[in-house]
Amino acid sequence: MGLTPLLTIDGLTKTYPGVVANDDVSFHLAPGEIHALLGENGAGKSTLVKMIYGLAKPDAGAMTLGGAPYTPAAPWAARAAGVAMVFQHFSLFEALNVAENIALGTETLPPPRALAAQIREVGKSYGLPLDPGRLVGDLSAGERQRVEIIRCLLQNPRLLIMDEPTSVLTPQEADILFHTLRKISAGGAAILYISHKLEDIRTLCDKATILRQGKVVATCTPREVSAARIAELMVGQLLSPPARTERAPGEVLLKVADLSLEPVAAFGTPLRHIGFDVRAGEVLGIGGVAGNGQDELLMALSGEVLTAPGAILFKDHGIGAMPPGQRRSLGLLCAPEERLGHAAAPDMSLTENAVLTARQREGLERGGFLDWAGAKDFARRVIANFDVRTPGPDVVARALSGGNLQKYVIGREILQTPTVLVVNQPTWGVDAGAAAAIRQALLDLAKGGAAVVCISQDIDELLEISDWFCALNEGHLSTPRPVRGLSMEEIGLMLGGAHATHKAEPGATHAAA
C-alpha cells in the first residue's frame, strides 16, 4: 500500500522447553491493511499473536507500533496502545446481557445508559446490530461474535487481531463479517487475520505471511495465488484431496426416528423431531453453526443421554435406552468435539485413555483383569497409524498439542472398526496435512462398509467427504439432500434455518435418490 507501517515485527524469537515456537520472525502491517497470518498447527501463529497482545514476552527481537517501541507487558497494555483481539473461543458469560459482557472487558467504563447507546451506535455504523439488553445465552454464534467485535471497536483500535473468525459462521454471516472488516480497514485500522479457510483469505486479505515450524517461509498477495499453492507453502508439500470411490450403499445401519430431547445443560439446545438414516458405505454430513444442537445430538447417539428405545435404531433394533458401553459393544462408536475432558481424560496416559473406549471391542479385559500390555500395543498402533507426535503411549493426554490429541482420539475410534461411527468436528484444530489424513480415514471406513455420521462446522470438509448433507438449526434437522449438485447458497440457507423446520421422516436420506 506504500504507507508507513503501523506494526513492525523485527526478528521475534520465542523458545519454550524443547521447542522454538518463533524463530527470527519479521514482517509488517500498514494502516488499513488486512493481513493474513497463515500456517499449520504448531507453526507459531498463536505464540506470535500472544507476544503482540501482551500475553507472552519475546526472548529476542523487537516490535514497533506507530513508529514507537512496543513492548506490552499484559493485554491491558496492548489495549491501551490500540491493539484489540477477538479470540477463536469467545470469552463471554452466558448469564449476563450484552452490555454487561462488554463492560467486563472495558477499562474506562461509561455509565450504563451511555454504554448501551454506544453499543447501538457502533453496531449501526458497522452493520452489527445488537440489543444491549439481550442475554448472551440467547444469542446465536454470529451474534456472540458481534459482541466481541463491538467490545473491541469501542476501544477505537489501531490494530484488530481476528483468530479463526468464520469458524462458527454461516456463509451469509461470513459475508456480513467481511463487509464489517472492510469498513474497519477503510477507517485506517489494520487487521491481522488468522484462518485455515484459504478461500476466505483469498477473498478478504491484502497480504499474507506464512509460517512453518516457527519461521517465515513466504509472503504473498492471496488473491494472486491459488488456495492449493498457499496450502503447499504452509505444509511444504503438495496436498491431494481425499480419494473418493463410488460405493453402492448397503443396508440401513443407523436410523433416527422422530427424536426429541430437552437439553441437559443451561442454554443448551432442545432437539425437535430429528429423523435420518444412514446406510452401510455412506457418509452423512450434518452441518451447522455452533450451538444449534450438535452436542445434544451426539450425546443422544452415544448413549450419554438416554431416549425412548425406538428413537434410535441400530440395524432395526431399538437402542435409545442403552448406555454407551452396550452401544460400543454392538459397534456404534462416537467421538465428541471436546477432546480434552470429554473424549480423553487429561491426566490419564494414552494407554489408559485407550482402555476407556476400546476395552470391549479390543478385548482388553479378560477374566475381570485389564490387559495392560494389549492396551499399550493398541495405543502404539493408534500413534503410528495416525502420526500422533508424542514420545509414546505413557504420555498423559494433556501433554499433547490439540491437533495431536485430536488425531489420537479419532484414530482410537477408527481402529476399533466400528459398524457406525459418529464424529463431531473430526478435524477441529488439526493442520491441513493431518486433516486430509483423517478425512481419508473416514472415507476408507465407509468404503469398508461402515456408516459414518460426520457433524462439522467446516462446510468444505462435509462437501469433500459426504454423500448426503443436512443442517442443524435451533435443534431442527433439515431433510438430507445429496451433496452432488448442492450450491453454497442452498447450504447457507439450510444452515440459517430456511429449510430446517421440515420434519424429516425416517428414510428421508434416500428420498431424493
HSE of 195 in the Cβ direction (CA atoms, 13 Å)? 28
CA distance 343 to 395: 16
User: For residues 487 and 510, what is the distance between their CA atoms, to the nearest angstrom?
Assistant: 19
pLDDT of residue 508: 46
Cell numbers that stand for 210 in this block: 506464512
pLDDT of residue 507: 44
Nearest alpha carbon to residue 383 among 395, 368, 371: 395
Domains and CATH numbers, the chain: 7-235 (3.40.50.300), 251-331+419-513 (3.40.50.300), 339-417 (no CATH)
User: How do 451-456 and 283-287 pair as beta strands?
Assistant: parallel
Bridge-partner residues for 469, per DSSP? 285, 481
Which three-class secondary structure state does DSSP give residue 223?
helix
User: CA angle, 453 as apex, 449 and 458 as ends, to 5°?
Assistant: 130
Residue 401: what pLDDT? 74
Bridge partner list, 512: none
Q: Can you give the pTM of this predicted structure?
A: 0.71
For the record, the C-alpha cell of 398 comes out as: 494433556
Report the distance separating Cα 209 and Cα 12, nearest Å. 14
Cα–Cα distance list, 122 to 118, 146, 318 (Å): 6, 11, 53
The 3-state secondary structure of 12-77 reads EEEEECCEEEEEEEEEEECCCCEEEEECCCCCCHHHHHHHHCCCCCCCEEEEEECCEECCCCCHHH
Query: 328 φ, ψ to 5°?
Result: -65, -40
Residue 80 contacts residue 52 (beta carbons within 8 Å): no
pLDDT confidence of residue 2: 54
Residue with cell 442452498: 490
242, 243, 396, 406 from 440: Cα distances, Å: 5, 7, 27, 15
Which ranges of 359-499 would DSSP assign to H, the alpha helix?
Answer: 372-385, 402-414, 432-447, 459-465, 488-495
Question: What is the grid cell recorded at 63?
Answer: 516490535
Q: What is the pLDDT of residue 1?
A: 45
Contact call for residues 305 and 263 (beta carbons, < 8 A): no
Contacts of 93 (CB under 8 A, 6+ apart): 100, 101, 104, 136
Predicted local distance difference test score (pLDDT) of residue 375: 96
Predicted local distance difference test score (pLDDT) of residue 168: 65
pLDDT of residue 504: 41
What is the rounded distance in angstroms from the CA atom of residue 106 to the CA atom of residue 390? Answer: 41
> What's the confidence (pLDDT) of residue 3?
65
pLDDT averaged over consecutive 10-residue blocks of the chain (513 residues)?
Answer: 82 89 96 93 86 95 96 94 85 90 82 92 87 88 84 91 78 83 94 88 95 94 91 79 76 96 84 96 91 91 95 96 95 91 93 95 89 96 91 90 86 97 87 83 95 92 94 93 90 76 43 34
Q: Give Cα 318 distance to the centre of its chain.
A: 32
Could you tell me if 296 and 274 are in contact, meaning their C-beta atoms sit under 8 angstroms apart?
no
Instruction: Find out whether 412 and 439 touch, Cβ atoms under 8 Å.
Output: no
Distance CA 292, CA 273 (A): 14
The Cα–Cα gap between 218 and 203 comes to 19
Dist. CA 92–CA 149, nearest whole Å: 12
> Which pLDDT score is estimated for 220?
95
Q: Which of 472, 504, 473, 388 is nearest to 438 (CA)?
A: 388
> What pLDDT sits at residue 198?
85
302-310, long-range: CB < 8 A, 24+ apart: 302/327, 302/332, 302/334, 302/336, 302/422, 303/327, 305/261, 305/264, 307/259, 307/261, 310/257
DSSP sequence for 327-372: HHHHTEEEE-S-TBTTTB-TTSBHHHHHHHHHTTTTT-EETTEE-H
Report d(CA 476, CA 272) in Å as an integer: 5
388 and 407 Cβ atoms separated by less than 8 Å: yes
Residue 317, strand partner residues: 314
